[in-house]
Structure 1
Amino acid sequence: MLDILAITTPIFLIIGLGYLARAGDIIDQAPLQGVGTFVLYFALPALVIRALTQNPLSEVFNPHYLLAYGVGSLATFCIGLILAVGLQKKPLGTGAIQALGMSASNSGFIGYPVAAMALGPPAAVFLALNMMIENLLIIPLALILAELGQQAGNGLREALHQTLQRLIRNPVLIGLTIGGAIAASGLDLPAPLTRVIDMLASAAGPAALFVIGGSLYGLRPRGMVRDIGQITLGKLVLHPLAVLGVLLFLPQADSTLITGALLFACAPMISIYPLLGHRFGLDDIATASLMVSTLTAFVTISLTLWLVRHLSVFAVS
């Protein structure tokens, strides 16, 4: 168990440093947001570009991984939506945002650092594939449904237009496009540019974790125990089980692929979840769910790593 904690403890210690920096007034909210902007607009796109250009595109583009992680995430989203809208009779917008929290992982800020320590270089490839699923499938689907729930008069066309506008400006998708184009062309980047990309990509993990910790400072869950518990259990338990269930039915899935997908699915929800929730009047539940799931993830990720060490279908030894 100590070797498992050797992987997870540094991750959450950096999160703790970010929290203490805010609690001790070492860094204010505005500079912290600046670090988050740096990660989102520069470090993460560089990490995706590096993942796509360091290996042949045929090795990066893994249809089995995309199928398994995509189907597992979509199944989790649908279950969350049915539970909120169909059984609990909540509005469509509320159900879509809650389902988003259950099915979209914080792949860049938490999933990648954990997977990188457990698996090494393959984690960057899995990150690029996850970004495709989250940014092209799960997040747009949730936003379209949430917009439909609020814009009954404008309908699907307006919801699609607004979602497309956000996708065009998404820095991670821009990184995916650039990296994919470079990889498809077969061109080698100049050495100075490669070094710049490496430096930015290397900063993504620790900087992102520090931002997560600072963002947790001041969050207080208030009177939403059932919804918070539902979203947290959906994200940390249902989502990994759904992804794992699909993977185990694919004969082409090797142990590294299974381990990577499972570790990314075990991450808490995306860090911008409170921002998306705020747009639809759910900022309190979104921020509280982010806090609870991030803290709980220390236990669930450590447990998952312990399990994969003791099951032969996984790659961590």
Structure 2
Amino acid sequence: MHVLLTVAFPVFALIGIGWLGGRLRLLGPHGTTALNGFVGWFALPAMLFTALAKVSIAEVLNGAFVIVFGGSMLLTYVAGMVAARLMSGARLAHMSLFGLSASFGNVGYMGIPLCVTAFGPEGALPGTLAAVLGAAGILTFGLILVEVDVQRGHGAQAARGRVLRAVLRSPIVQAVALGAMVSALRIAVPEPVMRFLDLLGSAAAPCALFAIGLFLSDKGLGTARREVLVASLGKVLLQPLIALALLPWFLDLGTMWGKAAVLCAALPTAANAFVVAKEYETFVEGASGTILLSTVASVATVSALLVLLSIG
């Protein structure tokens, strides 16, 4: 019970008041856009940069964590694609977006704050690595497959160019790359600059969680309910089970990295899945519904994991 009160409750309570604020329209019609912009362009990049700049790069590049978390994400993505094909005979773009909804967790907005709450400041390290694997790994791979389908007849060069531009424009990817460079080259960041970034980054966790609630406040399950249910089960149940199955071979469950790999695998679907689906006007209702259902379900599944793994 103690872990639920000290770790799970603050995280889900922040999401809850964000949802309430959205339902009551307290932040106006553009509140979600403005808050997401602040978190995505300023607070979260600052947090990721400082987390990397303060440690040696060897402390972040945990190969065993990459295999366990990355492997669970990739296998769930493939399972999602197969499920979409079997259920509706979907095309490659639809299959890819279904797979993203089933595997691409909300590490940036929810996972990093959760890891920091559970493990302390050092929890930002596995959270950051998981965010990089998601954004630069499975999301990029998924976008490539969508573009291969969309750009049929226009050549592979167009698909590669769009994906590369999207990745390079990401402030999170830029912050991670810059932080890794500062760490690798052992560049001393001036104390006033670091204090400013620490202050800015400290706003990332509460604002990101509040933003999740705002985003969910006007979403529904839509009409693609069978696909939403299957994708949500893949995200909050299948992926952490795969991580647990891989764990004994590569990581000790008693370590922070082992617990974080399972915890990050159990996170609900990220809002990016809806953003990408909306851009391509494919699986839009399904992605939106999966974000909502997996987030609601994660209240139970993540809380149960926190207790089972003795986190906090």
Q: Do the structures match in fold with TM over 0.5?
A: yes
2: CA distance between counterparts of 1:220 and 1:31?
Answer: 19
1:2 CA drift (Å): 4.3
The reply on whether 1:301 has 2:302 as its aligned counterpart is yes
1: CA distance between counterparts of 2:156 and 2:127?
Answer: 31
1:262 CA drift (Å): 1.0
1:254 CA drift (Å): 5.4
May I ask how many residue pairs the two structures share in their alignment? 311
Aligned to 1:156: 156
4+ runs of 1 displaced by more than 3 Å? 251-254
2: CA distance between counterparts of 1:208 and 1:155?
Answer: 38
Aligned to 1:95: 95
Q: Kindly report which structure 2 residues correspond to 1:192-207, keeping only aligned pairs within 5 A, or say none.
A: 192-207=192-207
Question: Counterpart of 1:79 in 2: which secondary structure?
Answer: helix
2: CA distance between counterparts of 1:173 and 1:4?
Answer: 32
Change (3 A) 1:8 1:253: closer
Q: Kindly report which structure 2 residues correspond to 1:223-262, keeping only aligned pairs within 5 A, or say none.
A: 223-250=223-250, 255-262=255-262
The reply on whether 1:48 has 2:60 as its aligned counterpart is no
1:251 CA drift (Å): 5.4
What is the TM-score when the length of structure 1 is the normalising length?
A: 0.93
Is the Cα–Cα contact under 8 Å of residues 108 and 205 in structure 1 kept in the other structure? no
RMSD: 1.6
1:252 CA drift (Å): 6.5
Which runs of 5 or more residues in structure 2 are unaligned? none
Aligned to 2:132: 132
Is the Cα–Cα contact under 8 Å of residues 69 and 264 in structure 2 kept in the other structure? no
Amino acid in the other structure paired with 2:243: V
Cα deviation digits, residues 48-81 of structure 1 (max 9, x gap): 1111111121112212112221122111111111
Is the Cα–Cα contact under 8 Å of residues 104 and 273 in structure 2 kept in the other structure? no
Amino acid in the other structure paired with 1:123: G
Aligned to 2:169: 169
1:149 CA drift (Å): 1.8
Aligned to 2:263: 263
Question: Counterpart of 1:249 in 2: which secondary structure?
Answer: helix
2: CA distance between counterparts of 1:264 and 1:197?
Answer: 25
Amino acid in the other structure paired with 1:204: A
1:107 CA drift (Å): 0.5
1: CA distance between counterparts of 2:273 and 2:173?
Answer: 18
Is the Cα–Cα contact under 8 Å of residues 5 and 302 in structure 1 kept in the other structure? no
Question: Counterpart of 1:29 in 2: which secondary structure?
Answer: coil
1:222 CA drift (Å): 2.5
Cα deviation digits, residues 246-291 of structure 1 (max 9, x gap): 2221156752111111111111111222111112222211111111
Amino acid in the other structure paired with 2:188: D
Is the Cα–Cα contact under 8 Å of residues 3 and 306 in structure 2 kept in the other structure? no
Amino acid in the other structure paired with 2:295: T
Aligned to 1:286: 287
1: CA distance between counterparts of 2:84 and 2:3?
Answer: 39
Aligned to 1:313: none
Amino acid in the other structure paired with 2:221: P
The reply on whether 1:217 has 2:209 as its aligned counterpart is no
Aligned to 1:273: 273
Bigger shift: residues 79-88 or 54-63: 79-88
Aligned to 1:208: 208
Bigger shift: residues 243-252 or 56-65: 243-252
What is the TM-score when the length of structure 2 is the normalising length?
A: 0.95
Bigger shift: residues 104-113 or 92-101: 104-113
Cα deviation digits, residues 87-109 of structure 1 (max 9, x gap): 64211111100101111111111
Is the Cα–Cα contact under 8 Å of residues 72 and 265 in structure 2 kept in the other structure? no
Is the Cα–Cα contact under 8 Å of residues 101 and 273 in structure 1 kept in the other structure? yes
